[in-house]
Amino acid sequence: MWDVYDSKGVLLLHKGYVIETDKQLDILLARGIFHISDTMPEPDTGKPIHREESSPFQLIDQIYPRLEKWICSSLPETEKEFPSKIMGLCSSLQRACAQDAEATLSTIVLGPAGRYSIKHSVDVAIVCELIGQALKMSVDERLSMIAAAMTENIAMTELSDILYSQAAPLSDEQREFVHAHPASGVERLKALGVNDPLWLSAVLSHHQSSDGRGYPNGVKGESIPVSARLIAISDLFCAKVSGRSYRQPLSSHQAMQFVFSAGEGQIDADIAELFVKTLGIYLPGTFVCLTNSQIAVVTRRGEKIQFPIVYAVTGRDGMPLPGPVYRDTSHPDCGIARVIPASEVTVKVNRYQLWGYSDFNPRR
């Protein structure tokens, strides 16, 4: 077994990773398998490559600028390589989720600040990948679905960023643009060389509704692809937990309640249950105030969903601790008193420490 690199020395796959489908192999071939060896190739800069397994944070953080480049660029070479490049990003996202699902989920809350339209698409793709796993969807189905999640708003990227900061209701022109974006998005993707029917149908139908009141063409019920339904739910959930520039985010529990009440009668009960089981009541990365007045970060689900694994990052006096300290949320003295929006937390946290991807490995 060997590590796999491209012609520039960029690591594509770690030794031991199993290629499960022809689509995954096609992605690698499209990116150009140049060097397969148990010895690291020298990069163009001549600097040595740090041989350390990429953390899920590194994998996801690298997706944002690359997705923005491929979504927003109109260069001829972009159009030629677009499908394979997006699928390459999807493969990286799947690797992050496979390595550590809860650390990957935490990037929804703790990911770096950047362009909202891009980060939101990646957030939605992460949730779709994990719910798709729970639904036993095949690897290829999930690849097509998360490619659709990453490109669902390709026809309204700039408007998405505007609406993030717009507290006023949509204008008539904006509303018309929003209603048209699924169909215009499909046309844009086709022009960029996308011919995957699952990818295209999910983008076209991600705003359809089971009662037929969705858009662009009023498809309803079982006629809506499962992948499109998952994108729709994940889209709304991620929008609520991310908030807006003028509105505080909801806690994951509040967001789930909103999503399921808003879609009452339209969301399959089994999918709703999977959302709770997969994402937890407290989304990883959530800041919470404990009953002892310490601020802590949720890192993983606990044995009981109401008692997640958390690590305190401040003392009772609000001062930063030298390192994360495990707290048992099932104990009355360390129970969760309330959720705190990340924007209200002044202490800086180290994601790598909290999830054990550094020299400091938190222990329970």
Alpha-carbon distances, residue 208 vs 126, 219, 237, 273 (angstroms)? 21, 6, 16, 21
- Please tell me whether residue 275 adopts helix, strand or coil conformation: helix
Supply the pTM of this predicted model: 0.84
| Tens of pLDDT, residues 8-63 | 444 556 555 566 676 666 665 555 554 433 333 333 333 333 334 579 999 999 99
Q: The domain 56-279 is classified under which CATH number: 1.10.132.20, 3.40.50.720, 3.50.50.60, 1.10.3210.10?
A: 1.10.3210.10
Which DSSP helix (H) or strand (E) runs through 325? strand 320-328
pLDDT at 30: 58
DSSP type of residue 344: G
Instruction: Provide the phi-psi class of 245: left if phi over 0, else alpha when psi is between -120 and 50, else beta.
Output: alpha
Cα(150)–Cα(265) distance, integer angstroms = 27
Token reading at 134: 């729970």
pLDDT at 173: 95
For residues 177-204, give the mean pLDDT: 95
What secondary structure, in 3-state letters, does 113-138 show?
CCCHHHHHHHHHHHHHHHHHHHCCCC
Instruction: Look at 23 and 340; give whichever has higher pLDDT.
Output: 340
Q: What are the sequence ranges of the domains in the chain? A: 1-52, 56-279, 287-354
Cα(355)–Cα(350) distance, integer angstroms = 9
- The four Cα atoms 141, 143, 145, 148 give a dihedral, to 10 degrees, of -140
Cα(181)–Cα(188) distance, integer angstroms = 10
Cα(278)–Cα(65) distance, integer angstroms = 27
Provide the 10 A C-beta neighbour count for residue 79: 14
| Tens of pLDDT, residues 92-143 | 999 999 999 999 999 999 998 889 999 999 999 999 999 999 999 999 999 9
* Residue 80 confidence (pLDDT) above 90: no
Nearest C-alpha neighbor of 207 from the set 173, 184, 240: 184
CA atoms in the 13 A half-sphere facing the CB of 182: 21
Alpha-carbon distances, residue 354 vs 102, 154, 197, 325 (angstroms)? 11, 34, 40, 9
